[in-house]
Chain A
Amino acid sequence: KAGVTQTPRYLIKTRGQQVTLSCSPISGHRSVSWYQQTPGQGLQFLFEYFSETQRNKGNFPGRFSGRQFSNSRSEMNVSTLELGDSALYLCASSLLRMGEETQYFGPGTRLLVL
């Protein structure tokens, strides 16, 4: 079974621009979560989607948004980019099984804001 895929893998943007990142979950997984990873703050939860609805949200400004499509694929958008948004953005998908739910991560999209 193919793993979580994320596109693009690398991206360079300038301050003030906006960016859209894409995530395709493992086939059959309906929950998609997004995380931001930086050297200073580590791995931080952004939001989680299930059945096209945002169920959980981390402590990030409204510039960070996301959505999920009927096929469970998800996108996240960052508007008005700031230098501090430079990070590795990770997507994880999960499938509830036997009362436990393991999140499997994709390779990430590395975003550099200049």
Chain B
Amino acid sequence: GESVGLHLPTLSVQEGDNSIINCAYSNSASDYFIWYKQESGKGPQFIIDIRSNMDKRQGQRVTVLLNKTVKHLSLQIAATQPGDSAVYFCAENLDTGRRALTFGSGTRLQVQP
């Protein structure tokens, strides 16, 4: 994972549009990936996860895509709502036995009403 700076990359979208948040992970040996949403003053909230033997997983309004060839993860949010405004982090775990997540730098999603 990368160190987060004071200035997070920001994605600004209109309410109702689809959002795509990207993440480059660091370790080709990682086999489990998670997306978290963090709102101001709160802890990270689990959104969706995916194992390395999959390339796509869908949840409610969210889809995670995994491209192991280029070590890239993306989170797609359909019909983005103002309540989706938050910082989104991807996290990777070398294996389920470690439970030591490595977090990406985060992306701030701003939804314009």
A interface, over-half SS: strand
**Cβ of B102: which chain A residues have Cβ within 8 Å of it?**
45
Judge whether A107 and B42 touch: CB under 8 Å.
yes
- B28 in the interface, Cβ–Cβ < 8 Å? no
**Cβ of B11: which chain A residues have Cβ within 8 Å of it?**
none
Nearest Cβ in chain B — how far from A91, in angstroms?
A: 8
A105 CA / B43 CA spacing, docked (Å): 6
Known: A100-B32, A103-B46. A40 touches B101 (CB 8 A): no
**Binding-face segment, B1-9, B62-70, B73-81:** B1-9
Known: A40-B6, A90-B44. A102 touches B103 (CB 8 A): no
Q: Which parts of B8-49 form the interface with A (CB within 8 Å)?
A: 32, 34, 36, 41-46, 49
**Cβ of B6: which chain A residues have Cβ within 8 Å of it?**
39-40
Judge whether B99 and A94 touch: CB under 8 Å.
yes
**Cβ of A92: which chain B residues have Cβ within 8 Å of it?**
43
- B112 in the interface, Cβ–Cβ < 8 Å? no
Known: A41-B4, A42-B106, A102-B49. A56 touches B98 (CB 8 A): yes
Judge whether B4 and A102 touch: CB under 8 Å.
no
**Cβ of A100: which chain B residues have Cβ within 8 Å of it?**
32, 49, 51, 96
